[in-house]
Structure 1
Amino acid sequence: MTIDLRTLDPEDWDAWYSMLDWSFGGVPEAPEERELWRDLTELERSLAAWDGEEIVGSYGVFSFGLSVPGGAVVPAGGVTMVGVAATHRRRGLLRRMMRRGLDGIRERGEPLAVLTASEAGIYGRFGFGVASQSLAADIDCGQVGVAAPPGAAEIRLRVTEPAEALARCEELYARLVPTRPGMLERRPGWEKLSLLDPPQDRAGASPRRCVLAEGPDGELLGYARYALKPAWGADGYPAGTVHVRDLDAAGPAAYGALLRHLTEVDLMRVVRLRHRPVDDPLLHLVSDVRRCALRVGDRLYLRPVEVGAALAARAYATEVDVVLEVTDPFCTWNEGRWRLAGGPKGAVCEPTTAAPELALDARALGAAYLGGASLASLAGAGLVTELRPGALAATATAFASPLAPWLPHGF
């Protein structure tokens, strides 16, 4: 039977989202979480795949701004809510939806597409590379201390309700976005994601709290949202867990004060952090990194939708002038030779007929775009080919970022 792809109508949202729920295991979300995603869904950018009267596929795009090296915030289409009914797998439906979706992103003038993947092997064939990774840590606070950076003693800590401090925290988050690549500029409505705390999802933990780090003049310098899950070990000693939801700070003093506070909560044995940057300062503040159960995983996937506009939108660590030979079988308009010239103050990237100096595909370019994956490392895997001696080292240095890219929250 013919499967019809149509823009999502408001009255079909519940059926569309319920199909998506089943694609991810069928466990219903809390009503407040479902309602938030209803509010955030951009209907005009969402697709429903219909087989007769039944929705068998879903696909959506969020309108984002993504921070890139150099501090600019670049329009990006956030691919989301992708699902195919189990009865309709392996019929090319995902490819059809991705085709429509990336064409729409291009038509809107967004040079980048980004997503997070439920399974790592799905999106490489569509030109998405792993542009940022994330760090997870379980700090054994019974055995690990946290050093206090200079100025930490002047930081005032105050615990409050997350909703009460939301406006101040969002102002601080907005200031931080240009300072690290890979962060999402939160558009109206997205601030509610920080407050989402359904009781059914707490698994025995407390309601979420928020600790504020303020300077001597009362300025907000950092905050952490967290929940406590009390427990007792077989030996009778407390073995609770601090589940950290967010931890953002403007400077080492506030960050150190917050991390120390979280590791010193009474009756707690473990501080659990997820989705942290891979160069998180905690690596240098804890007294014993081996007792932090560190793990690294893939996080943000990125592909250039318009190679020229994407490469011209970011700055570069050093001056660069290189001709790239790009292959992109899914977005063929990107294929060909591109001359990238620029540096710390900006860049231009235009088609050229000059001899190529590096060859790579869209997936490798997406992985390197934010500075998270080195072009030299990708070359070691055979994903980048040096065609002029010296071009690889110079270009890899230019693409680097002083701070690792980081996606603070999913979508």
Structure 2
Amino acid sequence: MFRENYIDQNGVSNGSRIGRSLESYFTQANYNYAGKYYLSGTLRRDGSSRFFKNKWGTFGSVGAGWVISEEDFLSSSETIDFLKLKASYGVLGDQGNNSFAGQLGFNVQNLLGLPSLAPRAVVDPNITWESSQSFQTGIEARFFNGAIDFGLDYFVKTTTDLYVNKRLSPSTGDAIILTNDGEMVNKGLEFDLTGNIIRNEDFKLSLSINGSMYENEITQMPIENATGEAKVINIDGNFAQSAGRSRFDYYLREWAGVDPATGNAQWLESWVDENNNGQYDTNEGINDLEVYKAANPGASIQERVTTEYADATRKYNNKSLIPTVSGAFRLNTSYKDFNLSAQFSYSLGGYGYDQQYATQMSNGKVGSYSYHADMRDRWMNPGDITDVPRLYSNENIRVNAASTRFITSSDYLSLNNVRLGYSIPTQYLENIGLSSVSLWVSRR
């Protein structure tokens, strides 16, 4: 009985074990002169078992700081308590998450009840570390006897030898190969400001705010194996990547509302009058705008409204997942033995794709889906002006397919935590052997 269960294919247990290693050598040096001048440096050499030929990478960083407020010309300032300039440059390496990125191998499998070896997908034996060169400079300052604390940093991070999947010729027997190619730049500002607005014996009030603003740009696209030239665009779900664009720019068909006469959904289609007859003809539509413009520079491109989702043109719509600024701010105040603090987070300028909302605005078979309350505003009679198409039962089902219709602002202001507290005065605690007691209530 036990043996029959053991050989039954539905009851076979399985498992795996993956071994990988990283060998590193590291050195660091720090120098401080007179509490005014600071230097630091690191150097490391890393070797990863994930790679085949190019296992080793050399990385490091240098940094410098100057406390200007310690100089004689500022040491007696009544305005500037502390002022420091700083800058650093470093090179970092990323070994990725593929345990056998550059090594051919085999997987042990079961074939008709017997052990077998199946070759893994093709690999690039020259694959190596993804490398990032980072430069950062900034300022730290405190003014008016601690009334204002301020920090500002600017950074530029250039990442080369990106890990990318390249498509292979069908004759190779494999679809894609992981390799190093392309370049991307991240740059931006980070700031931190605290104002101790009121500071007297009974009442205190301070406000802190921090945030980051950064830009992402692909500066070099990977080379296509089939053409030997830089890839024009890489479409990745609702996003696309191309030179000069962000990693998270939306690339979708553009929603054009609802036809008031029929209630059908509408999108925009780009097209070119190839036969110069002044009107749209079959096969003059453009499927992917960036690909077409790269192949036909200077073409006179027009737009029309279509009710066929498949005819609509995929294109950039100048919306990105990346916010313009995001961060947090905090309020702290106290009056005698009572204290109150609140922390908020915020984000402005980014956009998200509301897939859940799209699902609830479908034209699937009635009874198979839950509808959003907005479905009550759907088109029902000729002449209705609405942005919700006519409701069909399992017809015209592409009304909720991916388009700019479901891109929505991701701006938010969120209360993360609020805390109210009370500290019992020490004169009431001296006789019971306690030095302090605080009572508080908090809400997240």
Could you say whether these structures have the same fold, taking a TM-score greater than 0.5 normalized by the shorter chain as the test?
A: no
Q: TM-score, normalised by structure 2?
A: 0.21
* Higher helix residue share: 1
Larger Rg: 2
Q: TM-score, normalised by structure 1?
A: 0.23
